[in-house]
A and B are shown apart, each in its own frame.
Chain A
Amino acid sequence: MAKVSILQSQLLDITISRLSQQLIENHGDFSNTVIIGLQQGGIILSERIKKRIFELAKVEVPLGQLDITFHRDDFRRGQSILTPSKTDIPFLVEDMNVILIDDVVFTGRSIRSALDAMMAFGRPRKVELLCLVDRKYSRDLPIEPTYVGKVVNSIQSQYIQAEWKEEGHQEDNLWLINQ
């Protein structure tokens, strides 16, 4: 199983800083903005982004976590059932600017599910999508991220694996793996 590193500790940190700066540029004091990390890949990234925004702009952005399991479009379609993770959104998104965060955007189906799931918490004014890796040319749906860490050209049989220090790894790493 061959694997190639896409982003590593220092470069990953620079990328997170750049993405945070872009958010600060577009959202100012974040007075009407909330962040929602998508289970499971987007959680650690969303926490890092929140922390970095605080370090750079001294603003605490409300952060929630959203699970999309019950909104997936492949339920009963031969896939094994995924065990749901926690949803914790301690605010309403009604009339707010929402930044959805996920680690990888691939077919776009998870993001469609996330948009659907998010609507249970109100009607947002605007929704943006931030991802660390955009797997270009592999979209099933017309969904594009607003903020991208790195664009990767990959084929169907490959997948991306993220390793974070928070999960007990020695250093942060994003791998492109051949199955």
Chain B
Amino acid sequence: MLSQKHLLGIKDLTREDLELIFQTADQFKEVINRPIKKVPSLRDITIANVFFENSTRTKLSFELAEKRLSADVINFSSSGSSVKKGETLLDTVNNILSMKVDMIVMRHSSPGAPHFLAKHIDATILNAGDGTHEHPTQAILDSYSIREKLGTVEGKKVVIVGDILHSRVALSNIFALQKLGAEVMVCGPHTLIPKYIKDLGVIVEHDLMKALKWCDVANMLRIQMERQLVKNFPSVREYSQNFGLTKEILESLDKEIVVMHPGPINRGVEITSDVADAENAIILDQVENGVATRMAALYLLAGKKDV
């Protein structure tokens, strides 16, 4: 049984919670590879996907996970809704809940928005990304993919490369990897590494080659142009020359490392096309595992609530 009623962030979860989600996801991965990819577990549950910010992968992945579990699904996106007319977050969600919705999957540009909601409503909330704060299901699927590829996360060395400052994926990943016993390094230009990140117990490195020589897994993050209010590096070209992963760099290492990317990829910026499509890149496995792990999280959270 999970220790939490909501999935707001990895910070609130225990290692046992994460392992339970992985163990459950193993079985859901088998389910989604069957001829009939559906189980009836959540057939009496209605889930609202409330997206106040753009999303392709996460929204599709959640929706597919919900449908594979036989839940009824409604989708809401802020564009073209009454939010534009000045309705508050709480009013919007309470209106959705009046339609007898049991769970809310929410993405919002403000850090802490799902935490605020959790304090005011009864429904179970899953955070699908809150601003630059957390993106727990992405971290769960990332750790799950590492566990699948390398057998375990414990003791592995993982470097997160790129825009750490604006990345909710980075923060959730740091929490998840550390809870599971991995060593974490962050790597990027000085301007994209938060000042006090060392307080989280991570190693900071500004030289990509040194980072890659150290690690077993490299998680290459996307440069989040939409969140950068000031220019944090002179040009995309310069960033990619210093922190872009190319096939030549990979081949110059004396070992094989696992390459990950949470998507969407800016091909030629964080990683080149040949790296994205290489054998040791598990980017598409991450997407498949996203559905299985989200099914596990939804199933375990739904099961906590008595009818």
The residues of A with any CB-CB pair to B shorter than 8 Å are: 67, 69-72, 75-78, 80-81, 83-88, 92, 116-117, 119-122
Contacts and interface: CB of A to CB of B under 8 A. Distances in A.
Nearest to B300: A81
B40 A116 contact: yes
A81 B42 CA distance: 13
B306 A77 contact: yes
B303 A75 contact: yes
A69 B1 contact: no
A116 B36 CA distance: 12
B31 A76 contact: no
B34 A121 contact: yes
Given A70-B27, A76-B45, A121-B35, 7 more contacts: A67-B27, A70-B40, A75-B41, A76-B44, A81-B1, A81-B303, A86-B30
Contacts, number: 61
B278 to A, nearest CB: 31
B120 interface: no
Contacts of B26: 86
A119 B26 CA distance: 20
A-side interface mostly: loop
B13 interface: no
5 contacts: A69-B27, A70-B31, A75-B303, A87-B31, A120-B36
Contacts of B27: 67, 69-70, 84-87
B20 interface: yes
Interface size class of B (residues with CB under 8 A): 20 to 34
Contacts of A70: 27-28, 31, 39-41, 299
B305 A76 contact: yes
Interface in B257-299: 299
B169 to A, nearest CB: 28
Contacts of A83: 20, 23-24
B35 A120 contact: yes
B1 A80 contact: yes
Query: Ordered nearest first, which 10 A-B pairs have the shortest CB separation?
Result: A70-B39, A81-B303, A84-B27, A120-B36, A70-B41, A120-B34, A78-B306, A76-B307, A87-B30, A75-B41
A70 B65 CA distance: 14
Contacts of B304: 81
A27 B30 CA distance: 30
Given A76-B307, A81-B300, A120-B34, A71 B39 contact: yes
Contacts of B41: 70-72, 75
B174 to A, nearest CB: 27
Contacts of A75: 41, 302-303
Interface in B115-174: none
Interface string B37-71: 01111001100000000000000000000000000
B189 to A, nearest CB: 44
Most buried by B among A70, A72, A78, A84: A70
Contacts of B300: 81
A70 B39 CA distance: 6
A140 to B, nearest CB: 18
A92 B307 contact: no
Nearest to B27: A84
B206 to A, nearest CB: 43
A81 B3 CA distance: 12
Nearest to B2: A81
A108 B302 CA distance: 25
Nearest to B306: A78
B1 to A, nearest CB: 6
A69 B26 CA distance: 13
